[in-house]
Amino acid sequence: MSNIIPSEKRSIVTFVLLAGLIGSALLFTAFIRSADDAFFLCSTASAKSRAVAAAADYSATPIQLQAIVHYATSTITPQQNIHEISISFNVLKELAPANFLVFGLGLDSLMWASLNPRGKTMFLEEDLEWFQKVTKDSPFLHAHHVRYRTQLQEADKLLRSYKTEPSCFPAKAYLRGNERCKLALTGLPDEFYDTEWDLIMLDAPKGYFAEAPGRMAAIYSAAVMARSRKKPGVTHVFLHDVNRRVEKTFAEEFLCAKYRVHAAGRLWHFAIPPVAANATIDGGDYRFC
């Protein structure tokens, strides 16, 4: 007997898993908030009404309901597998509503937005044709079309040259307007620079042919943003496709093995702390790790 699962059954299994994740997010949030209210208000006459109001306030959002309908009626499944998705989902359960930056629009965009209810989830996509298609089908997604100034074939050169460009060094690194450091993402929407991102998903731009932008600048810029964080806590960075040489090499160079906290399949999860305000940093040192 063949062990291959028919595509129809795979789609059903995937939907059940995705629906479970989204449903868990809904139930978890409503339960925790309602339980907190009930605990603190149980001694008052209005405890019941407040608990009911709290549950209503954390009911399903329109985008969550849209996600369930979408995945229930589609045979197309997200790029990441359930084990990879679960790593990000567990962080979102803890932090949502959060500021969630996602590099790339894809088959999983609606899912990511739905797992961060009432938070800010912003997508960046470099392929204009794909951007137009996805946003036409899902106009409620918060997405920007962007351009990158690197190519995958430059990866090795960029890894060497940043070490001699002071504007790339950790002590002086910045993004907006940093034309001298080619690894710094410039020319992006102001929202990209003005928001402190709690989670950053690196699943784009394309990195599988020589002229593609590659993820070198996205990885470097995620490290710069995480180190510059002003709010309490760490920045969670999720990098997909670490089976590829460039992704793995740049992750080890800028995201640092010591900050890697989880791994599943082709995904690595880093929890990067900010640089302490009173920390002494060697202005001539190019090393991030």
CA pair distance 131, 143, nearest whole angstrom: 8
Residue 79: what pLDDT? Answer: 82
CB of 98 closer than 8 Å to CB of 72:
no
Question: What six digits make up the tokens of 82?
Answer: 């359930």
Residue 25: what pLDDT? Answer: 54
Pairing of strands 267-272, 99-103: unpaired
The DSSP 8-state label assigned to residue 53 in this structure reads H
Burial of 286 (0-12, 13-18, 19+ CB in 10 A): middle
The DSSP 8-state label assigned to residue 31 in this structure reads H
Residue 17: what pLDDT? Answer: 52
Residue with tokens 């059903």: 12
The listed CATH number (3.40.50.720, 3.10.20.80, 3.40.50.150, 3.30.110.30) that belongs to domain 61-272: 3.40.50.150
CA pair distance 143, 246, nearest whole angstrom: 26
Would you tell me the crossing angle of helices 7-41 and 62-72 to the nearest 10 degrees? 160
Question: What six digits make up the tokens of 283?
Answer: 């202005």
Instruction: For 63-85, give one letter per residue: b (16+ CB within 10 A) or e.
Output: bbebbbebbeeeeebbebebebb
pLDDT under 50 in the chain at which residues? 1-16, 27-45, 47-48, 50-58
CB of 64 closer than 8 Å to CB of 29:
no
The full set of domain ranges for the chain reads 7-42, 61-272
45-79: pLDDT as tens digits:
454 454 444 444 446 787 776 767 766 677 777 78
Residue 60: what pLDDT? Answer: 75
Q: What are phi and psi of 184, to 5 degrees?
A: -80, 130
